Chain A
Amino acid sequence: MSNNNEQRKTYYESIIKQGYSRRDFMKFSTYMAAFMGLENSMVGQIAQSLEKTPRLPVIWEHYQECTCCSESFIRSNHPIVADIILDKISLDYTLTLMAASGHQAEAAKQETMKKYHGEYILCVEGSIPMGDDGNYCCIAGKSAKDAFLEAAEGAKAIIAWGSCASNGCVQAAKPNPTGATPIHKIVKNKPIIRVPGCPPIGEVMAGIIVHVVAFGRLPKLDRLGRPKAFYAKRVHDSCYRRPYYDAGLFAETFDDQNAKNGYCLYKLGCKGPMTYNSCGTIKWNNGVSYPIQSGHGCIGCSEEDFWDNGPFYERTTKMPGFAVESNADTVGKVAAGVLAGGIAVHAIAANISKRKELMDRINRGKDNEKNIES
């Protein structure tokens, strides 16, 4: 870990010290502005605040997760992204990537938490198992629950990386044996940015963290606490296959001619119409592709409970409370059939039970018919 003087350097100083040129730095600022969806004139502001702002200490915790968020992050577009955050310049503690280990690592974390109490940014990757007193996930002799509460206490803000920390992800799928819980359900009194996705897009993660460190405040969030710049649109609404959807041209199976023609994957269970993410615009692996472009429907990994929300390869969503196989239409058809049968029985019973009344009226009517003056 770096000493105190080094830590209070500005981002710009740290970047230059790493061997990057001013030109690289400006490129990086431009990339970041583009990711955040800011206009051109904001590039200067990002550069300026990175030149002036002393670095914010960052603690990056890993709990119940697969580290795919970190993997995604270090593959984001610009090398400075990884350097600025994941190198020792900025990151005080991240157990998968830091040089220190064991007691040294834990000591470094304790020191940061003490020294920068109320100032550091806490990044959380992974959900927290609350079942059985948090015993399902332990790091350095502490349960994830205790470690998280300890780290969250002095944090300025918390970033929930990925679907695990934001929604619970796969380990929170029914029946959720470990009681995997997203962090916003555990800590209520801190600003939390939720960055769902399994993993989130590297550029999205970079954009968010640069926003926080460069401007010293949270990006604009939607009602679910997700940054609006990246989660305001459905994948469907920015999908390049959208014209096929509007035309009604759908792939029926993965190997038919329609699929080869690149038609919309809606009928193959693509969850793009229900999924809020930037896959259609920022894409993956430095903008190479994204699932739909590769011929596979979106599985909705950035949505809450995506694992429990019906099959990946069908349009239907499961009906809660019914057998696994049934969907709303099956239940509806059966109900309509039963109801139609009931109506038929009721109609027959009505005619039998009320026959006296009916016959009276019919006879009266027939009498009247005979007495019409013509």
Chain B
Amino acid sequence: MEAKKFIRVMVWELPVRLFHWLNVLAIIVLCITGFLIANPPALLSNAEATNLHSFGIVRFIHFVAAYIFLFIMIMRIYWSFVGNQFASWRAFWPFSKKNWNNFWHVVKIDVMLLNEDHPNIKDISVGHNSVATLSYLVMFFIAIIQICTGFALYADTSGWWLPKLFSWVVPLFGGDFMVRTIHHVAMWTFILFSLVHVYLVFYHDWLEGRGEVSSMFGGFKFVREDRIKHHEDIPEENKK
């Protein structure tokens, strides 16, 4: 059995990790408060409405989380132009032969669970694999839909110009009914995506053993030494 040496590579830079976890937080908060807004629980209280603002607070939290969701999205888009190769927009560009070769490879190996006789280590993506980037692209568009529909519904009660930028969305769909339905249905895609996403992170960590789960905390993934171009150029302390 060949000995397999791994070295540590900084894959997810700090802004990417920050984006990821703030996004997690925002999406969880948005989903919970969103469900509460869609179907508020029966509140048993003797207090006068004057002294109670519980539903207003739920909505306030929803709006705050929405702003976080929007601003970190903008930050992440910026970072896709200045960040490393794994954060770059090029990593998400779906129209290349290399991308589709990797896509079918991932479908065969990780979705259909087939085995290869002679695995090529270059088939294992260091950053996102091509199925993942495609799913993130789709989620990115759904996130834009959520931002547009959400801020469109919010715009009317806000005096700020930013939410007002989205006020064209409601007339586009003829009224609030359709906008609300889209907003609600699109939320479910985030829940379904999260299920698959978390499962696949565990799956890769378990089957590839290169720190998939912890990479989103520390930023490091373990990459096979034979994939590094100039081995002799690597500083001694990085070889651990």
Contact = CB atoms under 8 A, between A and B. Distances in A.
Nearest to A222: B171
Interface string B26-50: 0000000000001110110101011
Contacts of B50: 243
B176 A249 contact: no
A317 B45 contact: no
Given A248-B43, A248-B54, A361-B209, A305 B1 contact: no
B181 interface: yes
A319 to B, nearest CB: 7
Contacts of B55: 245-248
Interface in A278-329: 300, 303-306, 309-310, 315, 317-320, 328-329
Contacts of B228: none
B184 interface: yes
Interface stretch (A15-23, A73-81, A121-129, A339-347): A339-347
A28 interface: no
B140 interface: no
A353 B196 contact: no
Nearest to B60: A246
Contacts of A320: 181
B137 interface: no
B157 interface: yes
Contacts of A353: 113-115
A317 B177 contact: yes
A220 interface: no
Contact of A304 (B1, B47, B174): B174
B121 interface: no
A309 B188 contact: no
Contacts of B171: 222-224
Contacts of B38: 315, 329
Contacts of A364: 1, 4
Interface string A25-56: 00000000000000000000000000000000
Given A234-B176, A328-B181, A247 B42 contact: no
B156 A274 contact: no
Given A303-B177, A317-B177, A250 B42 contact: yes
Interface string A321-364: 00000001101100110011001001101100110111011001
B181 A336 contact: no
B195 interface: yes
Contact of A246 (B4, B49, B180, B195): B49
Q: Determine the main DSSP class of A at the interface with B.
A: helix
A300 B49 contact: no
Contact of A303 (B175, B184, B203): B175
Nearest to B110: A350
B168 interface: yes
A56 B196 CA distance: 66
Given A250-B43, A328-B181, A335 B188 contact: yes
A275 interface: yes
B185 A328 contact: yes
B40 A275 contact: no
A339 B203 CA distance: 15
B191 A249 contact: no
A349 B54 contact: no
A354 B113 contact: yes
B188 A332 contact: yes
B235 interface: no
A46 to B, nearest CB: 28
Contacts of A350: 113, 203, 207
Nearest to A256: B42
A233 B192 contact: no
Contacts of A275: 176
Contacts of A315: 38-39
Contacts of A318: 181
B231 interface: no
B132 interface: no
Interface in B88-121: 113-115
Contacts of B145: none
B49 to A, nearest CB: 4
B165 to A, nearest CB: 14
Given A246-B49, A328-B188, A354 B115 contact: yes
A65 interface: no
Contacts of B42: 250, 252
A358 B207 contact: yes
B43 A331 contact: no
Given A247-B49, A317-B177, 9 more contacts: A233-B156, A247-B54, A248-B58, A250-B40, A250-B43, A304-B177, A329-B38, A331-B185, A336-B188
Question: Which 4 residue pairs of A and B lie closest in terms of their CB atoms, listed nearest first?
Answer: A274-B176, A248-B55, A332-B188, A247-B52
Interface of B: 1, 4, 38-40, 42-43, 45, 47, 49-50, 52-56, 58-59, 113-115, 156-157, 167-168, 171, 174-178, 180-181, 184-185, 188, 191-192, 195-196, 199, 203, 206-207, 209
24 contacts: A243-B50, A246-B55, A248-B40, A248-B45, A248-B52, A249-B43, A250-B42, A266-B40, A267-B39, A274-B175, A300-B177, A303-B174, A304-B174, A315-B39, A317-B184, A331-B188, A332-B192, A335-B188, A335-B192, A350-B203, A353-B115, A357-B207, A358-B206, A360-B1
